[in-house]
Chains A and B, each alone.
Chain A
Amino acid sequence: MGLFNWGQSQEDKQEYEALKSELATLENRLDTFLAKLNERVDVLLSGFIEEAPAVMAEDDRFGQAYYRFSSAMKGQTANMREKLREVLEKQIEPVYSRYSDTLSVGSEAYNMLREWRNRCADKANEWEEQLHHRVEETTELVERKDYEPVFEEMMNNYWQQCQSVNCRQCGANLSIKQVYYYSAYVACSHCQTQNIFEPGTIARDIEHTARKLAEQRSKHFMDAHEQRNREERDLYQQMHELQLTLSMDERMSKRGAKYEQLLSLEAKRVQAENEAPELLDKYYRNIFDELNKLLPDLEEHHEKFFLSLQANYKRYDGKRSTNL
């Protein structure tokens, strides 16, 4: 059969055109399918943005209702991903397998088939990446909160509550001057009776909120760290593309305009690679400096916690080897 031997007969050309048309039809259907999924993603995410504030406003202190709400949104996106994977598995791959088994490797038709399959897979991957990005962005938008006033109000409430705590024995005010994050013994300065002071749920959330606020105040370091990582990856990619264009002579002699350009890119890349971990270190150090300012009584613990965290993230410090 001509299709598989790829002669130049009229029949071969017709079969080639038929295959081309079949692949184009399937690719168009995939495009339409992805566009329809995108419409549903729009509906899902706009609904999420609209309803989330009400869910959060009614939520308990652990945020369980919002957790369920956002899990449901993510569950719907997971379902769409599964649908797309099923389409690739049942509509695209079988067509590829059917023809790739019979076409001659390297033939025009075979190359067309392979490129078609790669294009379809790339479209699916790109759609998934976009979806992931949109979900992250939407979640960040919904969860964004200014912790400055939240923390201030929390502390005001705590100190106000402390003013009205009296000794169970003599009734004198206990004049609480420190932050108790959980129930604690407090001695009465008048009669020396040991009282159990129960600071309530506000105090139990102080540490968590202080951490959120410290992270918020340190975010610029994290943004800069991520920016440097992106720059490093981008420069590495540029170097890789440039390396592919080097002649054998340039490669061997390590000279020439392109090689100079490569070295310049490498210098910038190394700088970004060195700065990224330094900025991460500044981010965590700043968090704990802020925490020390917000909750000075926990400074000793903060320092130990910082060292523990630092030991962990430094474990994953790695440098690329470019061998120029």
Chain B
Amino acid sequence: MGQNPLFEPIHGISLYDYSAANAKIANGVAVDAICSALGVETPVWEEASQGWVQRMQEDSEFIVISEMGTLFGQADQHPKLGQLQPVAGAGNAQNLDRLANDRYFYEELNGARTAAYEAGLDGARWIQDNYGISLGDFQQVAMQWMEEQKDLSSEEITEYVDYMEAKRQEYAKKFAEENGGNIADDVEF
């Protein structure tokens, strides 16, 4: 990876800096705090960000975006940004730990999030409100499960996909009840 010019830092900002910073921003950490931790001013950060977006667009093999996904999931180990927390403080650590260690819980929240969007709700907000897990944290854990998925058998993957779908249906029913039902609930065969 070191030899590929697509991975050269932009204004001193490496892909790891950029990926970890985005994970933190998605978690509610302010851009000013990111810049301060990286030791750069906002214009440098913004030009570098723009540069990384352009690199991804110019990369027909998708290697930059793929590496970014991996690094996004390692934001908490980043030497300068790892410890940054949003002003409001960390989310629900217990639920976050469960999300990272219990695949079924992760799939349940995935299903719930999809069902929430299909019910016209903000799915990410719903998870934040009910489980104290921010979008950024959720995505970081999602990257971790995606990495682990490479080692799963097709049966295991199917098991998780089916579980998520069952949960999606369960939550869809719940949200529909809360919203007064679906438009075609009374249409019978």
Contacts and interface: CB of A to CB of B under 8 A. Distances in A.
Contacts of A189: none
Interface of B: 41-43, 46-47, 49-50, 54, 57-60, 115, 117-122, 169, 172, 176, 182-184, 187-189
Most A Cβ at <10 Å: residue of B120, B172, B176, B188: B120
B183 A69 contact: no
B187 A308 contact: no
A83 B120 contact: no
Nearest to B122: A68
A33 B43 contact: no
Interface string A177-216: 0000111110000000000101000000000000000000
Given A33-B189, A76-B183, A307-B58, 13 more contacts: A75-B172, A79-B172, A79-B183, A79-B184, A87-B189, A182-B47, A183-B42, A184-B43, A184-B47, A185-B43, A304-B57, A304-B58, A309-B60
Contacts of B50: 181-182
Nearest to B58: A304
A284 to B, nearest CB: 13
A36 B188 CA distance: 9
A71 interface: yes
Contact of A37 (B58, B169, B187): B187
A183 B47 CA distance: 8
A301 B58 CA distance: 8
Contacts of A78: 118
A40 B117 contact: no
A185 B11 CA distance: 14
Interface in A50-107: 64, 68-69, 71-72, 74-76, 78-80, 82-83, 87, 91
Given A33-B189, A91-B189, A184-B47, A83 B184 contact: yes
A30 interface: yes
Contact of A43 (B119, B122, B183): B183
Nearest to A36: B187
A308 to B, nearest CB: 4
B151 to A, nearest CB: 27
Given A44-B183, A68-B120, A71-B118, A305 B58 contact: yes
Most B Cβ at <10 Å: residue of A44, A72, A82, A198: A72
A307 B54 CA distance: 13
B85 to A, nearest CB: 24
Contact of B58 (A83, A182, A308): A308
A30 B60 contact: no
Most B Cβ at <10 Å: residue of A64, A68, A91: A68
A33 B49 contact: no
B93 to A, nearest CB: 28
Interface of A: 29-30, 33, 36-37, 40, 43-44, 64, 68-69, 71-72, 74-76, 78-80, 82-83, 87, 91, 181-185, 196, 198, 301, 304-305, 307-309, 311-312
B183 A183 contact: no
Contact of A196 (B42, B59, B60, B183): B42
Contacts of B119: 72, 75
Nearest to A70: B120
Nearest to B175: A75
Nearest to A198: B42
Most B Cβ at <10 Å: residue of A30, A36, A71: A71
30 contacts: A33-B189, A36-B184, A37-B184, A37-B187, A40-B183, A40-B187, A68-B117, A68-B121, A69-B120, A72-B118, A72-B119, A72-B120, A75-B115, A75-B117, A75-B120, A75-B172, A83-B184, A83-B187, A87-B189, A182-B43, A182-B47, A182-B49, A183-B46, A196-B42, A301-B54, A301-B57, A304-B58, A305-B58, A307-B60, A308-B59
B122 A64 contact: yes
Contacts of A71: 117-118, 120
A301 B10 CA distance: 15
Given A30-B189, A37-B187, A68-B121, A183 B58 contact: no
A196 B182 CA distance: 52
B182 A79 contact: yes
Contacts of B46: 182-184
Contacts of B118: 71-72, 74-75, 78-79
Contacts of A311: 60
A64 B49 CA distance: 23
Nearest to A26: B189
B138 to A, nearest CB: 17
A185 B60 CA distance: 31
